[in-house]
Amino acid sequence: MPSHKPTIGILTGGGDCPGLNAVIRAAVKSALRLGYDCIGFLRGYEGLVDPVAYMPLDLHNTANILLQGGTILGSTNKGRFSALVGEGERVRIDPQLLSQAAATVRQLGVTGLICIGGDGSLAIAQQLHEHGIPVVGVPKTIDNDLSCTAFTFGFDSAVACATDALDRLHTTAASHERVMVLEVMGRHAGWIALHAGIAGGGDVILIPEIPWTFENVCQKVLDREREGRRFTLIVVAEGAHLPDGGLVHDKHGQHGAGGKEKRQVRLGGIGEIVAKEVAKRLDREVRALVLGHLQRGGTPTPFDRVLATQFGAHAVRLVHNGRFGEMVCYRPPEIESVLIAEAIRRLATVEPTSSAVQAARALGIGFGDGVEASPFAQ
């Protein structure tokens, strides 16, 4: 039944990541202080349509969730709502679903709907906004590939997980004089691989944004051996293209650069390919590890807790001020806002000449492209 107070709705769409509950908690606490009631829709956008599934949110059921991973509201990246059918290709949501969602919002007296998600989930939010639903967006993804924000929450926690894995691999690689390959998430952006590779002392970082070859990777291993360092840590992003331009899918094999599928593909498996190829070419013992969904779970880092908390509070501010169709964003040191349509227009990827890449090269980290000289010397 509709509340006698203005109501703010909250939902979490797409994949889970550390910090979702921190956003929910902050939004609820901020909203209640402004006189709103809060409800949370269950299982993402699915909770908006028949049968409507939601729960009241208050200080009691959002207490002590700041450091919990996942989301108390549940989420899904499947079901009746879908934003991606192929790489970079968006589809329109069924107008009947949008109308059902709008009817739910009206019936429950929802003044504003806070949608927490990545580029796919926010693409759905944009379509809800265009259908007349009062939507505010919050950027969430471990991939850090949403434009218009310096960082998305969840990214720092994923980097911390990958860095911890590299710290552990470093000791065993050194002890056994092995090449170790760590495959990390990130889809079509190399942010996790780049930041974890730098933080964890990686020797080679392979990302989608910088073309690489097996010859250059192997040469880096040999160069390290000539310097007396008989182990190498290779970090590879799941979306790094093979030298022939193809991608590696965990269940569907390698797909050429021109091959498209009418659905969102699941990347994975390139780490094993890199390990086997290096082992074959150099006759070395090589081990591969796929970190996988460990990067999505667990307690959010302090940085992600602070960022998520600010996002939640400022999302309520946008609702209170009637700033619908906007997404909160982090532009250090401030939290600002931008049109959702602008944020989802393109993916934010690593710039090959960025300061982080230059710093890595200056330390001698290879990117498989044969560029070894420090750019600072130019």
Q: Would you name the residues annotated as active-site residues?
A: 143
Contact 88, 263 (CB under 8 A): no
Distances (CA, A) of 158 to 191, 195, 297, 300: 10, 10, 8, 9
Distance CA 179, CA 170 (A): 10
CB proximity list for 288: less than 8 A, separation 6 or greater:
180, 181, 182, 183, 271, 272, 274, 275
Question: Can you tell me the distance from the alpha carbon of 241 to that of 255, in angstroms, rounded to the nearest whole number?
Answer: 10
Task: Report how far residue 374's alpha carbon sits from residue 371's, in angstroms, rounded to the nearest whole number.
Answer: 8
* Lookup: tokens for 266: 């699941």
CA distance 28 to 6: 13
